[in-house]
Amino acid sequence: MIVVDASAVLAWLGDEPGADAVEAATAAGEPLTCSAVNWSEVVQKALARGVALDDVAAAVTLLRLSVVDVGREDAERAAHLWLDHPSLSLADRLCLALADRLDADALTADQAWAAHPRARLIR
Residue-level pLDDT at 85? 87
Alpha carbon distances (Å) from 87 to 19, 65, 81, 82: 25, 27, 10, 8
Q: What pLDDT band is residue 114 in, cutting at 50, 70 and 90?
A: confident
pTM of the model: 0.93
Residue-level pLDDT at 35? 96
Average pLDDT value for residue range 39-52: 94
* Domains located in the chain, CATH noted: 2-121 (3.40.50.1010)
CB 54 within 8 A of CB 22: no
CB 12 within 8 A of CB 22: yes
* Mean pLDDT for the chain overall: 93
Residue 112 has pLDDT above 90, yes or no: no
